[in-house]
Amino acid sequence: NGTDYGFLVRQNSELLRALDELEKTCTTLREENGLLRKSSAPETEEKVRRLRRKNTELAVLAKRLEERARKLQEANLKVVNSPSLMRPGSVEQYKRAFARQRARDLAQHADALLSKDKEIAAALQQECRELEARLGSTKGSPPPSGRVEFEKLLRESLEG
């Protein structure tokens, strides 16, 4: 029973020393994290602003293209539904022509958006690599919090 108590006292002392070391490490990491945040905050904020601006530009472009497609569709429907221009069998011909035109318009729209997305993604990945190199992060260390937020924004912009 006395040996158990002595063992527990030694174990408690070791645990207290380990806890003290962990607290010191945690404090050091907090300070380092704060310094990293301060050093990369302006760059990260600028990148976020640039991403938001590009996202807005893409949204405006998408709305314009959707509006153009809607107007073309309305114009084509007017032509298809116009009784004076119709001959027997011509309705189907107009519908096929309209479907082909719509498919071409949608393909062009998709290509334009995909091209712009790839361009933005490549630029952002390059900037991310440059930031990572500038911050000097090593493989074994956790990524700086600004980088994690930046990568999250990058993924969201590519998904949405």
pLDDT tens-digit series, residues 48-65: 888 889 989 999 999 999
For residue 114, is it within any domain? yes
For residue 23, is it within any domain? no
Which tokens in the block code for residue 123? 């630029």
Phi, psi of 66 (to 5 degrees): -65, -40
For residue 111, is it within any domain? yes
For residue 145, is it within any domain? yes
For residue 32, is it within any domain? no
For residue 26, is it within any domain? no
For residue 65, is it within any domain? yes
For residue 153, is it within any domain? yes
Which tokens in the block code for residue 85? 């221009």
Domain count within the chain: 1
Other Cβ atoms less than 10 A from the Cβ of 91: the count is: 13
Q: 80, 94 in Cβ contact below 8 A?
A: yes
Domain interval for residue 77 = 41-159
Sign (positive or negative) of CA dihedral 41, 43, 44, 45 = positive
pLDDT tens digits, 68-124: 888 888 888 887 677 665 566 777 888 888 899 999 999 999 989 888 888 888 888
